[in-house]
Structure 1
Amino acid sequence: MSNRFISQGKRKNTMPKVGMEQIRREQVISATRRCIVEKGVLELSIKDVAAEAGVSTGVIYHYFKNKQDILLQVLKETFRKSNDQVMQTMAPLDSSKDKLFAHLENITFVPVDNPDFFLLLINYFAQAQNNQECADIIKKFYRNLRSFITQYLQQGVETHELEPELTEQLPVILLALGLGLGMMQTLDPDSFDMAKMESALKKICENAFDLTGRNK
């Protein structure tokens, strides 16, 4: 599969001030994210990013090799922030059930509070088929998240709240639900009530815990 998003364009020799490296990188990444949401990946150019960030194209090329490099860094940073949010939500919770319910709340919260996340994801999914680096980043994100879900569900197995086989099934189901609901809410926000969807999902998962308890 091809690893190219688009051509590099011309470089300038403009150099950023010393000590501004991290600030400039974050500035460019944030600007690129906004440009993707507004224009999409295919229509995006280095000049667009430079204009949005308020810097020269030379500054951009000082930190990033080309357009693909910027796009991949945006994807990594987007997933990093999403992962951090999930971890912070779970950190103060003790039981497997509480963590699962918090995760469900996060699934239904993100499309409403941060729709840009799924707009970005839609753009990158379209690129992943022909860009192995992009595909690998997406796969790594979902594998790590699936592993994390499995870990906290395993806690429920150890306390006899969940059946062991659910630790294999629920992580995949949760990821599929999160992706599907997010995409639908982003593209067609009036198609369903997200609050009602959250309530329904919690009832379904509640049954999994109740069923295990009745089978003891």
Structure 2
Amino acid sequence: MSPRTKEQNDAIREMRMNQIMQAAAEVYLEKGIQLEIRDVAVKAELGYGTVYHYYKNKHMLLEDLLWDALNRTESAVMPALTGFGGGLLKAESFSGLLLRECIQDPSVFILLKTVADNFHHFPGNRFSKLFADFQERIYLPFVEMIREGFGSKSPEKTANLIFGSLVGCAALNIHHNMRNEMDVEGFVDMIFSGIQLKER
């Protein structure tokens, strides 16, 4: 049997890392920051040594998971970021896309929840760059949509309210196994109808 090529090795490495990160997201939903590499190995149906080969500790694994989730989040909301229409229409579209991704992809939910919690479970400043990138790529464009759409004097406050509502709604659906029952458009419409009434 001939040895694997570099491309084959890279493909295997990427597949393994995705398998590990998916398992880590599922374990994190069950155990939070108490997860251990051993738990992830069991969930991924891999040997402990295999997971440890890629990640020496859970903080390195969670850091990769959250960076990957940021990229997934940006891809999910890109149609709203680059689309046409007024700020309000874009903000509603953004919120629907974000909630749908949050419910379907546990790593995106974990990212949003972790940002909302200000990374308080994680040691040191290792996530300051991630937080800055989240602000620049996700949060501030959304705040600008709110500013345009509502003419709000405090768009950050409104954006925070919406993000908090989306995270809370996703948490209920994820932790109560109701992912397929969520009326995303109806929930987003309810949030925005309430804000429009308040802003009048």
Q: Place the TM-score, normalised by the shorter chain, in its bin.
A: 0.5 to 0.7
**Larger Rg belongs to:** 1
Q: Give aligned-pair identity as a percent.
A: 13
What does 1:1-216 correspond to in 2, within 5 Å? 17-20=5-8, 22-40=10-28, 42-45=35-38, 48=41, 52=45, 57=50, 61=53, 66-115=57-106, 117-118=108-109, 128-132=120-124, 135-136=127-128, 139-140=131-132, 142-144=134-136, 145-154=138-147, 156=148, 162-189=150-177, 194-195=183-184, 196-207=186-197, 211=200
- TM-score if structure 1 supplies the norm length? 0.64
Partners of 1:71 and 1:20 in 2: CA distance: 26
Q: Is the 8 A contact 2:25 2:110 kept in 1?
A: yes
The CA deviation string for residues 66-123 of structure 1, in whole angstroms up to 9 with x for no partner, is: 5543331122111211122112333222311110110232244234433564367669
Q: Which amino acid aligns with 1:94?
A: G
Relative distance call for 1:21 and 1:106 in structure 2 (3 A) is same
Partners of 1:180 and 1:106 in 2: CA distance: 16
Q: Is the 8 A contact 2:80 2:93 kept in 1?
A: yes
Q: How many residues matched?
A: 187
Relative distance call for 1:79 and 1:47 in structure 2 (3 A) is closer
Secondary structure of 1:132's counterpart equals: coil
> CA RMSD of the aligned region, Å?
4.0
Unaligned runs of 5+ in 1: 1-14, 212-216
Partners of 1:80 and 1:197 in 2: CA distance: 25
Q: Which amino acid aligns with 1:32?
A: I
Greater relative contact order, per chain length (Cα 8 Å cut-off, separation 6+): 1
Q: Which amino acid aligns with 1:84?
A: S
Q: Is the 8 A contact 1:86 1:103 kept in 2?
A: yes
Unaligned runs of 5+ in 2: 29-33
Q: Is the 8 A contact 1:104 1:198 kept in 2?
A: yes
Give 1 or 2: higher helix fraction: 2
Q: Is the 8 A contact 1:149 1:171 kept in 2?
A: yes
Partners of 1:186 and 1:137 in 2: CA distance: 28
